[in-house]
Structure 1
Amino acid sequence: MRRIGGICGITVAALLAVTGCSGSSGTEQPPGTGTRTVKFSITEGKRTAGPEEVAVRTGENVALEVTSDQADELHVHGYDKAAQLAPGVPGTVAFTANIDGIFEVELHKSGAAVTKLRVSG
């Protein structure tokens, strides 16, 4: 009986690990679940690494990872997704791109343009 309890405990732990316990809106996607991650660097208010535009298909999971040399807030317009950035520490906004269009991605405090997100079917 002890062995069965151990297996059940492992099964419950595995189920929690897969489903997660999140207070998000359900659009956040953890890494490793088919999420396309695009990385950017911002130095002195200018993009120094990463593409000028990111094109994704409607329904695709996307994560925008930004490292800035200054504290700021990463914001994806149209999706109202944001992440606080600490200097030198990557910050990520992850979501399902389910709204078609072209959306600005910027840093709010500095006004730095990170990229344009193009979502289409």
Structure 2
Amino acid sequence: MRRISGITVAVLLAVAGCSGSTGSEPAPDTGTRTVKFSITEGKRTTGPEEIAVRTGENIALEVTSDQADELHVHGYDKAAQLAPGVPGSVAFTANIDGIFEVELHKSGAAVTKLRVSG
């Protein structure tokens, strides 16, 4: 019995040690999915036009802008100040169903739409 337990533990440790993240999966320690965006001259240059998440999912939006601005997630009233070239982010649990605009307030740049549904 003791030998089987030791083998089981060794197999579990080996499997855990071999698992890796591809960057598109939630981080295993936080369960938060991070989506990254870049804004140049008031236009989104990288990142999806829309993000679909399930109600209750943890999401982080990371934005790098070439200008100082404020990132704002409508409906959730989440905001972050952005310095030029420095990533800023907002993280929250998407617990309100609907479609929400994410924008930069100063420039009015549309970052993405957040679609939350159960």
TM-score scaled by structure 1?
A: 0.74
From 111, 115, 120, give the equivalent of 2:108.
111
For residues 23-68 of structure 1, the C-alpha deviation after alignment (integer angstroms, 9 at most, x for no partner) is: xxxxxxxx94100000000000000000000000000000000000
Counting matched residue pairs gives 92
**Structure 1 outlier segments of 4+, above 3 Å:** none
What is the match of residue 50 of structure 1? 47
From 37, 42, 60, give the equivalent of 1:40.
37
What is the match of residue 100 of structure 1? 97
TM-score scaled by structure 2?
A: 0.76
Gaps of 5+ in 1: 1-30
Q: 1: CA distance between counterparts of 2:35 and 2:53?
A: 11
Gaps of 5+ in 2: 1-27
What is the match of residue 120 of structure 1? 117
RMSD: 1.4
Q: CA deviation at 1:97?
A: 0.1
What is the match of residue 88 of structure 2? 91
Larger Rg, first or second structure (1 or 2): 2
